[in-house]
Chains A and B, each alone.
Chain A
């Protein structure tokens, strides 16, 4: 029913598109399985909203070659099994043209074999919101196109930066699953490059809410007296860890990777800081894979902000929105927006011939495409990874701002 209502909304846009472009057809379905419920729902919802801002704009302009774009959302709650089922349903039942904007490592890594299964139908996964390695390596690198930099890129960058300011004893706090393991693997490799090893490690269970206690993990890591902690987790658990570390009087730089959902995490910590007067945020430094949406010097930032204002996209009907307030501009949303922008470019390159088997070549034909983030992107038969840039953000007066000086965290 919900989806029917979403179709009705899109139907209005479709009528406009049809009138503007007589060469019509059915909508092009982009299937998106992500966390729309549970502790990581913020990521799914914001990626969706950022993408919808751009798709709505495209559809308002008649779609692609007269075909409206339908972003079909499926909730997997950040769990592998529903992600697999959603994917099969999207392909078999909803005739998805492509898979777009999946969120989460444990979910995506399990969906990958399905791409092999449906390779005869030329089903590709575009721009999953995860930096894990499996979709960037054989045997799946051919079926997946990645826009964002990998966790390995992020962890290398973080370790390099910490090492540069003398923080060489690195401990890791990570989610006990493929995502956490991916970050763990990246940190370990980065340290190995510096001939260092992990000082300590502690895990938490995927789906742990902010209300849970992380004191045990704080104790385990603190016992090793590290110089910095890199957290590979979701925002609720990481915020809980940061809260308990600060509450324990542990003053140490804590870095999170892009997947954490920086604004969602800040949404938990900042009110706490305002309330208690404790400093939960000044020692935070997060790595990001898209530029800061505060950097309005970038054309894409302006575009993103304009379209968000114009279309004010709502969470999908499948989302559990109870108690959730959609964020303003944010990294995840901006990434979703950029993802949408690239896929629309790819679809346009089909020139109205929406034959799935032509999609791969169309994407791979993108060279030095200016996305508006001062970083032209290129794809090719041997290049399914577009970006490698890692950005850093820190909190200032309750907002994430680009980091210009790492010396503030020097020993």
Chain B
């Protein structure tokens, strides 16, 4: 069993208390004894010296020295007497107790003359004798000094030894009492500490318990301890009621903890649902943002197109009137030529045979030319109209079954001839590879598609002619019927499109042509027509220095066909 901490504390207190008592009593004893013993020894010495002096006046004067020595020797054994010596009237030491000789300090001791003050009084003085210690020298005069003197030396060493032994006794008594008190304290503290440590052990047991499982108030132990009528009993009872209270509190807490757990579960589910919703909304917002960005791009493009459209509309409007004149007068000229031919046939006008033979042919040729004028005038008119339509942002023409092969061939031819018309030096080779199956009409807006194709073919002719490799430029047109649409490929062997440029080629107003030779709108409009209006796809494949090939895929049915 480990030592009770209470006992240790009590013992520590007792040690301090008894040390204090021991020191205090020893100190007081030492102080008191020192003064009392000094007084006591001095008076003892006085008594001895006086008694020898009184007895020896006659002895010193009349008797053999052994008589007084015999007297002196009787006092040697008295405790505290360090020495005795007798001086006669002449100052000779006639008896003493020293071995081997009288110390020099005492031989040198001054004698008092009979006529000095207090010569007949006992005199005390402190003497230190080398090798013997300190003494209180008590000298009693014999016959007021003329008969000599008796000296008794009281040993201070004996006084000190007495003090030492007294202090030792005192400390032993204190130690004995201390031992007794320790035993009693151990017993008493044990009686207090045993129930206390039972209580402590019980408390530690309670502290070590898992209180989640509840607390069973130990009414057996605490009830027994609580029988006591002292503070420990009170403590035990208090502990028991505390345990009961704690037990109740634990039950309440357990109930509350259950509820809290349920609330927690609900809360978690709600939070999870909200999180999910939020994630979804986030995704939606991101998608909307993407759309918004696309819309923004579209708006920017349309904004540009709108300004271009206004310009184009003006131009187209101005061109429309001359075109009308061209078309109307081409019609009128053809009617006149027809009329002339009929007249010639009816009247039989005599004409030189040769002329007569040639006129119908020339007329026919004229008719044919006019038809051609008309045809192309109409087409120009269509183009202008479609420009107007395009610039207005809406569909100029209605979707109709369209022969893509013919349209594409026309576009290339037109581009070619247009270039030649501008520049007589223009020369490129054209390659046609048209899939007959692609002639099957698909729903498309021919004017728009023509514009797109014209743009691309124009670019191709330009690139093929201006290639750095020099002459030998070629432009190829190839069509393919696909399962669900038609693929158109326009390829030139020009310088290709650098990587940095390729990403931007479908942007409006982006051009690599020298200033004044391109608007930068061609490919932009074309891309818009193919993808936006016909639901097709448009992409470019290129290898710098070797070729550029635009690939247009049109579905069988345009979304606008419906």
Which residues of A pack against B, CB within 8 Å?
A: 80, 105-106, 109-110, 132-134, 137, 152, 176-182, 184-185, 188, 201-205, 216-217, 220
Q: Does the CB pair A178–B101 fall under 8 Å? A: no
Separation in Å of the A107 CB from the closest CB of chain B?
10
Q: Does the CB pair B65–A176 fall under 8 Å? A: no
Task: Give the CA-CA distance A137 to B64 in the complex, in Å.
Answer: 9
Point out the residues of chain A lying under 8 angstroms from B68, CB to CB.
181
Task: Give the CA-CA distance A377 to B125 in the complex, in Å.
Answer: 54
Q: Interface stretch among B92-100, B206-214, B375-383?
A: B92-100
Point out the residues of chain A lying under 8 angstroms from B74, CB to CB.
80
Point out the residues of chain A lying under 8 angstroms from B98, CB to CB.
176, 203
- Which of A133, A180, A203, A205 contacts B67, CB < 8 Å? A133
Q: Does the CB pair A203–B63 fall under 8 Å? A: no
Task: Give the CA-CA distance A216 to B67 in the complex, in Å.
Answer: 27
A137-B64, A185-B65 known; A106 vs B73 contact (CB < 8 Å):
yes
Task: Give the CA-CA distance A133 to B64 in the complex, in Å.
Answer: 6
B residues 62-80 in Cβ contact with A at 8 Å: 63-70, 73-74
Point out the residues of chain B lying under 8 angstroms from A179, CB to CB.
66
B82-118 interface mask toward A, CB cutoff 8 Å, 1 = contact, 0 = none?
Answer: 0000000000001111111100000000000000000
A137-B63, A185-B65 known; A203 vs B70 contact (CB < 8 Å):
no
Separation in Å of the B341 CB from the closest CB of chain A?
190
Separation in Å of the B559 CB from the closest CB of chain A?
148
Dominant secondary structure at the B interface: mixed
Point out the residues of chain B lying under 8 angstroms from A220, CB to CB.
100-101
Which residues of B pack against A, CB within 8 Å?
A: 63-70, 73-74, 94-101
Q: Does the CB pair A106–B70 fall under 8 Å? A: yes
Task: Give the CA-CA distance A217 to B101 in the complex, in Å.
Answer: 8
Separation in Å of the A134 CB from the closest CB of chain B?
5
Separation in Å of the A139 CB from the closest CB of chain B?
10
Q: Does the CB pair B69–A202 fall under 8 Å? A: no
Q: Does the CB pair A109–B63 fall under 8 Å? A: no
Residue of B nearest to A151 (CB): B66
Residue of B nearest to A177 (CB): B73
Point out the residues of chain A lying under 8 angstroms from B95, CB to CB.
181
Task: Give the CA-CA distance A348 to B553 in the complex, in Å.
Answer: 189
Chain A CB count within 10 A is highest, among B64, B65, B99, for: B64
Separation in Å of the B304 CB from the closest CB of chain A?
142
Task: Give the CA-CA distance A176 to B69 in the complex, in Å.
Answer: 9
A106-B73, A178-B73 known; A185 vs B101 contact (CB < 8 Å):
no
Known: A80-B74, A202-B101, A203-B99; 19 extra A-B contacts, CB below 8 A, are: A80-B73, A105-B66, A106-B70, A132-B66, A133-B64, A133-B66, A133-B67, A134-B64, A134-B70, A152-B64, A176-B96, A176-B97, A177-B69, A177-B70, A178-B73, A179-B66, A182-B64, A188-B65, A216-B100
Task: Give 4 closest A-B pairs by Cβ, nearest first.
Answer: A133-B64, A181-B69, A182-B66, A185-B65
Point out the residues of chain A lying under 8 angstroms from B73, CB to CB.
80, 106, 177-178
Point out the residues of chain B lying under 8 angstroms from A105, CB to CB.
66
Task: Give the CA-CA distance A134 to B65 in the complex, in Å.
Answer: 9
Chain B CB count within 10 A is highest, among A80, A179, A184, A216, for: A184
Task: Give the CA-CA distance A134 to B67 in the complex, in Å.
Answer: 6
Point out the residues of chain A lying under 8 angstroms from B96, CB to CB.
176, 203
Separation in Å of the A242 CB from the closest CB of chain B?
15
A202-B100, A203-B100, A204-B100 known; A178 vs B63 contact (CB < 8 Å):
no
Separation in Å of the B39 CB from the closest CB of chain A?
30
Residue of B nearest to A216 (CB): B100
Residue of B nearest to A105 (CB): B66
Task: Give the CA-CA distance A220 to B70 in the complex, in Å.
Answer: 25
Point out the residues of chain B lying under 8 angstroms from A177, CB to CB.
69-70, 73
A203-B99, A203-B101, A217-B100 known; A185 vs B64 contact (CB < 8 Å):
yes
Point out the residues of chain B lying under 8 angstroms from A217, CB to CB.
100
5 pairs from A and B in contact (CB 8 Å cutoff): A177-B70, A181-B70, A182-B64, A202-B101, A203-B98
Task: Give the CA-CA distance A287 to B63 in the complex, in Å.
Answer: 24
Q: Does the CB pair A178–B100 fall under 8 Å? A: no
Chain A CB count within 10 A is highest, among B66, B96, B99, for: B66
Q: Does the CB pair A181–B65 fall under 8 Å? A: yes
Q: Does the CB pair A110–B64 fall under 8 Å? A: no
